[in-house]
Amino acid sequence: MLSRLYLRKDHRNLLESPPHLRKPPTLSPLFSDRSNIAHALELARTGFEDEGKGIPIGTCLVDNKTGKMLRVGWRRRVQLGSATKHGEIDLLENIDSLPARVYRKSTLYTTLSTCTMCTGACILYSIPRVVIGENDTFLGGEGILKQHDVEVVKLDMQDCKLLMKRFIEECTEVWWEDIGETGKGAAE
């Protein structure tokens, strides 16, 4: 299981700074999908463990050529009382007016499959590649992304699944509300 210690020392500012002050680190050009998802997973844990049982979904946007992490985000819907503060939207709102060409040369990493709203944001910003930590818990808009020629990579990562399983066990009602469903334990 990953921990805060897993993050490189110069990456810890991603977890300790308020969103408007987060400055992503520069990564080596030798980056990998799994290491970037590991960073997104740390952000997901931050939202769940450090911020009072928020929905554990983390995201990061990485330049395809350089491997530079451009921005990060995590789902803060519960913490901020915002219906739209999903991880991908949090990430996009943390971007200081990047030119459209930057999005078109980037990969979005997310610990859980994108919902319809976040799928639309990926399409709107022409993000060509989305890497998903897991999609067993929630199968989102992957088909829609593919219809818009977005490359979708599913990593099927056990750590992502275990974190979501723990969250759903501890916060069942919040989960059902978040995905717009009624289910076992959901308030009618």
What positions carry a catalytic annotation? 88
- The DSSP code for 66 is T
Ramachandran region, residue 67 (left: φ > 0; alpha: ψ -120 to 50; beta: rest) = left
Query: Residue 137, Cβ neighbours under 10 Å: how many?
Result: 19
Residue 144 bridge partners (DSSP): none
Phi, psi of 130, deg, nearest 5? -125, 125
- Residue 125, H or E segment: none
Q: Return the residue matching tokens 């500012």.
A: 13
Spatial contact of 108 and 132, defined as CB atoms under 8 Å apart: no
